[in-house]
Structure formats: structure tokens, C-alpha cells
Structure 1
């Protein structure tokens, strides 16, 4: 059975890389995520990733309190590059070929972001990891995921979280909370469901780029989405 999507943009939050740790990178979690991505690649799906940096920046929170917002945002971008390199290393050990492209120029460490080169890598079967967000302060990695997803002509943005979808209320507090199977962009924005930030949601809505929110910790969840099964919460125009 063919995949429901040919090319995906996977949005990984920095917090997803922590596992149960307070901050930093949990090696076992990263290896689990790479296994899920490897299965998608073996299935013939082209995979691009935008990674956040909250897990690393969280460890510097006390030092960053009261810091100028622009400076803090640039530090956060550097944290995403660290996460991207950790992912790339884990992929190398798994036998996956990947390339890291950064919106900030650090040529000795990672490539600069070049759209056509990123698309060529994807067509060659390589995983492309986008780091440093959009390269601009005040824009989140959610917005970077929406932007890069549109630029590479992705079929969907998959937001990987610790929760297996969007719920009517916090499932950790309310055991009767129900998972939404499908939402429109307008519903997500009006009800402030915090799927992604408003800028990212609006970009995806206007460009008709669907978003699926799912748990990366649920084994096989990524493959079930690719097979078109009911997994997570789909946010779209329809």
C-alpha cells in the first residue's frame, strides 16, 4: 500500500528530545525517534525535519532571565543547531544519510539553507534537517516548520509531541478528555488550541498545507499516519 504522503516536514520540539529529563538530550529518545524516521524513509517517503531548541535553552533559563529578547532568540537558534547535529549523528549510526541546513551561517559546522539543494537532497533519499528556525528573532520554530514545509512543497507538516493529538482539555488532568480526530484551521485558531503558534497556523491555512499533531513516543504512530490511518489530530481546510 503506497504512503498517503510523498514528502513530509516533521516538526520536532526540543522538549521531545528530552524524554523525562529536565533538559538536555536523552540519547534513548533520540534513537527511538531515528528508528521511526528510518521506517518512513524505507517506505519511500522523503523526510525533512525542523527541530526546536527548548530542551537545551531550558537548561540556561536562569542565566537567560531578563535577557534581551533578540539575544535570547539567537541563543535559541544556536540550540536548534546543537539538536540538529545530535540527530544527524544518531542517523549516521543508524545508517541514514542526512544533511543539516542552517538559517544562520556556520559553514564549518553545517550547510547554509539553500532551497533547491534541500529539494535535491530529498529527491536523493537523504533526510534534511533544518536548523536555526527562520534565522530571524521573534519567529518560532513552528513558523519555520510552516515556512520550510511550503518551500520544499511538503504534503503535510507532522508536529511530533508527547501527546497523541489535540484534546478537548488536558488529558493528564481530565481522564474524560476526548481527542479531536479532525479540526479546521479556523477552529484551531478561534479556540486557541495551541496546535502551533498563530503565524504558523495562518501560513498553513492560506497555503492549504495540512498539519497532523501526534505523539512521536507512540511506536509506529508515524507509519500509521503515512498509511492514512486515524492517528493524532489532522488540522486542515477541509
Structure 2
């Protein structure tokens, strides 16, 4: 059965107040979708993002939800469905990055990163799935470190992102009978507040000689959530300026 896509069907983005997440929110809202998105620590940015979208004629809803808390994730899904109805698109972008050598990595930090980067992704998919109709779209935002770490101190983060890639492969089989696709976008270095202090180190290592833009990641997500991507599922797509080439 082929899905009937509507330009006004809603989207739900976990982790949408800044950086790549905000770019995805803007991109999907520009398509005419009402967009619900979560945030944790950036209420001012979330409010400003809503103002921008509404100024452009769009509709958005900001929901405070910590992806480390499965119950908060469940409630965020319910709030989005109550406001906009069943989503056509689910994007799971919420994540955190902490570095450190294994023999110096605090267990509390390890648990926090697993809770957000792995369990939080699972919870978002788990609680949104019952609301997804036939043929809808799920996209997770992983990392190219799932394939190539490239620098010391990244082992735990890379492990969490490799887990996401494997979760997506298995989920593709689980959702295939419902014609729901799920794919994983693996960005490399992207110009966000997290990379601002690393530009001098990162750029010389990139074959294209420049760092990525959040809008470029959002464009790939928009394609994966559109009509043309109906035959792609279970894939991890790396977009990193040639870092892992």
C-alpha cells in the first residue's frame, strides 16, 4: 500500500531547539508541516525558533522534555499528537557529546550519554510508533563516528552512535510490514555551537576543506522524509565532507 503524503501533515522532532535540530525544524516547517519539537536547556532558543516559524506563516510547538527520561519522551509524543494529530514524520535528533579516555571516563557521564543517545532514541521510536500510520517516515541522527572514530577520547560517544545505526537496521525489519521506513543520518563535523572551538583542528582534516552546515543535514532529512525515499529503509547515510572516505 502506498502512503498518501500531505504537505500539511505534522512532524515531530526530538531535540529541535538549536544546531542541526533547529535546521530540521525550519526545513520541515517550510514545507508547510506543523512541527512539534522538544528541547531541554535552551528555552529562549526554542521560543525564538517558534517566533521565526510563525512569522513565516508556519506553525510550531515547543515541548520541554529530557530524552534521558522515558516518561518525558512518552508525554512529549502525547502532547504533539494532541496538538497536531498523528505525525507523518518522526526525527530523533536529541543527543549529547562528552569526550574522554576510557580509564578517565566517569560512570555517571557514561550512564547519562547512554540514557540520551541510546535509550532516548529507542523511547522516542517506541512511543511514537503506535501513532504512525502506514507508510510514514522515521529518521535518526547518528554520527560518522559509528564508522570511523578518528581521534582519541571518542570511544563512548562512538559506541552510542554505532548502537543507533544497529537499532535502525533492526527497526527497519520490524516496521516493514507497515511500510514505515526508518533511516539513520550520520553527520560528520557540522558548524554548530558544539564545534565552534574545534574549527582550527577540524577543517584541515576534511577533504572538501570546509565544515558542514546544519541546513545541509536538514536537506538530507527532508529527502528521507519525502515521497522519493519510500524504497530506502534500514540505511545509514554518512554526510561528512569526505572525513570517512
TM-score by length of 1: 0.43
The structure in which a higher percent of residues are strand is 1
TM-score by length of 2: 0.42
User: Looking at both structures, which has the greater relative contact order when contacts are Cα pairs under 8 Å and sequence separation is at least 6?
Assistant: 1
